[in-house]
Amino acid sequence: MKSSLNYIGCNLRKLRKKMDLSIFTVANDLQMSAHYLGTIERAKANPSIKMLDRLADYYHVSTKSLFEG
């Protein structure tokens, strides 16, 4: 069974790739480090709800959708 972090990371990576964006572009646009964004995408970091809201807004999706498998 996948954890919420796995779903979040996988969904964020899919959204980024679907928009053909580099991890550096997204991180720069959101004023965060590419390393931190990478750890979120690999489910190695536990982002705050505030951070998930920012990411969801950036990709024009609901925060709830990041948790769906």
Break the chain into its structural domains and give their ranges.
Answer: 4-64
Q: What is the mean pLDDT of residues 28-41?
A: 98
Token output for 22:
């580099």
| Measured distance CA(49)–CA(44) in Å, rounded | 16
Whether 1 has a pLDDT exceeding 70, the answer reads no
Rounded to two decimals, the pTM is 0.93
Asked if the 4-64 domain carries CATH number 3.55.50.30, the reply is no
4 CB-side CA count, 13 A:
11
Q: What is the mean pLDDT of residues 25-51?
A: 97
